[in-house]
Amino acid sequence: MALDPTGRDCMPLYHAGQIQIYRGNKTAAEELLAKAVEGHFSPLLVNEEEVFHDYGLALWFAEKPMDAITNFEKSLAINGTFTKGLNNLGCALGLGAVLGKLPQQMIVPGIQQLQQAVSLSGDSILYWRNLVALLRFANQDEAAASAYQRLVALDPHSAQDPPQDCSWEFSFR
């Protein structure tokens, strides 16, 4: 970052922001990733949707749910089949509604995002677990039971540990 004091190259800022998310430093992560989304992207190193996605995650942890949702949506505007973005947007909408940070009806679009994620990546245990949790939060018991059966078929150990929460997806790039 010292070699590029103007912050025009997003990569050092992006990676530093990811490290701060991992370390739990919400404010530092938000500041670094805010600068990263304003810089220049290199598709050879990272896809733009990853930068907006991780900025959205930092904003969620900084308790700025609407800003987080906006950046998850930006990641999906760039790549509509970005399952990590679908998962985390679904979690933000669903948990935001459950926690009272968003209107209660926002849980339905959250469920829809997770349904799209499982349609694109049907073998993802994480996406199925999150879908079951949101369906339960929304009192959609029949749909939750059906999704839970699919989850247990993929991961028999899930029968011992039913989903009670939505889990975020994050990975270093």
Question: pLDDT tens for residues 93-139?
Answer: 999 999 999 999 999 999 999 999 999 999 999 999 999 999 999 99
CA torsion 147-149-152-158 (nearest 10°) is 70
pLDDT at residue 171 in the model: 78
Claim to verify: residue 114 and residue 54 sit in the same structural domain: no
Claim to verify: residue 27 and residue 100 sit in the same structural domain: no
Q: Could you tell me if residue 72 is inside a domain?
A: no
Q: Could you tell me if residue 173 is inside a domain?
A: no
Among the candidates 42, 67, 92, a domain finishes at 67
- Structural domain including 3 reads 1-67
Contact of 36 with 71, CB cutoff 8 Å? no
Name the one residue in this structure whose structure tokens are 């530093």. 16
Average the pLDDT over 146-173 and give the result. Answer: 90
pLDDT at residue 170 in the model: 85
CATH number of residue 152's parent domain: 1.25.40.10
Claim to verify: residue 63 and residue 119 sit in the same structural domain: no
pLDDT at residue 42 in the model: 63
Token readout for 52 is 């907006």
Instruction: Specify the amino acid at residue 80.
Output: G
Q: Could you tell me if residue 172 is inside a domain?
A: no
Tell me whether residue 132 is exposed, middle or buried, using C-beta atoms within 10 angstroms of its C-beta: 0 to 12, 13 to 18, 19 or more: buried
Report whether pLDDT(43) > 70.
Answer: no
Q: What is the pTM of this model?
A: 0.85
Claim to verify: residue 43 and residue 121 sit in the same structural domain: no
Token readout for 4 is 């590029």
Domain count, the chain: 2
Report whether pLDDT(44) > 70.
Answer: no
pLDDT at residue 38 in the model: 84
Claim to verify: residue 106 and residue 148 sit in the same structural domain: yes
Q: Could you tell me if residue 117 is inside a domain?
A: yes
